[in-house]
Amino acid sequence: MPIKTFKPYTPSRRTITVEDFSDITKTEPEKSLIVMLKKKAGRNNKGEICVRHRGGGSKRYYRIIDFKRDKYDIPAKVIAIEYDPNRSARIALVEYEDKSTGIKERRYILHPLGLKVGDTVLSSRNPIDLSVGNAMPLRHIQVGTIIHNIELVPGSGGKLCRAAGSYAQILAKEGDYAHVRLKSGEVRLIHLDCMATIGQVGNIDHENVSLGKAGRTRHLGIRPTVRGVKMNAVDHPHGGGRGRSKGGNIPQSPTGVPAKGFKTRRKRNVWDKFIITRRR
């Protein structure tokens, strides 16, 4: 999908780029698959701000995505490809038709690169064709295959490789686990009973989009960030002093957590034993 540019009739238009949206075939979402999305502005259940610089933004509905792909051995036809404001990837509307009952059901799935309207996708716990959009356990997927929407725990739904352009590759299989290399370079063990979808997530040009102005950032619900050296000493460890001086302090957050080289991962992380090669 190409990136659209503009003539620089204003200073911000010179650097703004937007997605082409030529792959979108349906503009309105499926009403049965949307719910209201309440904004929390970075606050937890106690009302405390735990993520800074969040708030505002455009109103949006949440599209219910089928990350589990648990409607097995029933072919689904791709009806439309839609825009989802809650994620960088596109979503595909598929329709399942159970021939035994004649009941039709529609669901949203992540849109893989190369999947078109009219194509058929299938999900199964048994070996099936390695076509783009098909989902099956890792034990039935050949080594070297490109996959996305990967489960970490069997039956829990896809957790890895869900953003636009992301993918992983199966390097080997040993015992009950597969060696999967993520796009970050990390290699980790994933159980062979975990489901994964064939192909790479679509909308690969998303990373090339330039917002170009502050207003587009506010539409995404991101508020301005003030530098610590511009604050008073009472507000930030870098504050106070005359000119750009952080008083000899190391780079740190307002709460005093070091910002460079300080490890925040828990020492006893249950997932550490599954990581073979770290991304760093």
3-state secondary structure of 137: strand
Question: Are the C-beta atoms of 154 and 193 separated by less than 8 Å?
Answer: yes
- pLDDT at site 164: 94
- pLDDT at site 1: 64
Tokens encoding 13: 């238009």
pTM exceeds cut of 0.85: yes
Give pairs for 54-59: CB < 8 Å, separation 24+: 54/221, 54/222, 54/223, 55/221, 55/223, 56/218, 56/221, 56/223, 57/218, 57/219, 57/220, 57/221, 57/222, 58/85, 58/219, 58/220, 58/221
Query: What average pLDDT values come out for the chain (280 residues) when binned by 10 residues?
Result: 89 92 91 92 92 92 94 92 94 87 87 92 91 93 94 93 95 93 94 94 92 94 93 91 84 91 82 85
User: For 24-208, which CATH class?
Assistant: mainly beta
Closest CA to 210 of 78, 73, 15: 15
Task: Name, in order, each residue with C-beta under 8 angstroms of 40's C-beta and a sequence gap of 6 or more.
Answer: 54
The CA-to-CA distance between both ends of the chain, in Å, stands at 31
pLDDT digits (tens, 9 = 90+) for 174-224: 999 999 999 999 999 999 999 999 999 999 999 999 999 999 999 999 999
Torsion on CA atoms 161, 22, 219, 42, rounded to nearest 10: -20
3-state secondary structure of 150: strand
Closest CA to 27 of 85, 103, 78: 85
The whole-angstrom separation of Cα 146 and Cα 86 is 24
The whole-angstrom separation of Cα 209 and Cα 205 is 7
**Domain boundaries along the sequence of the chain:** 24-208
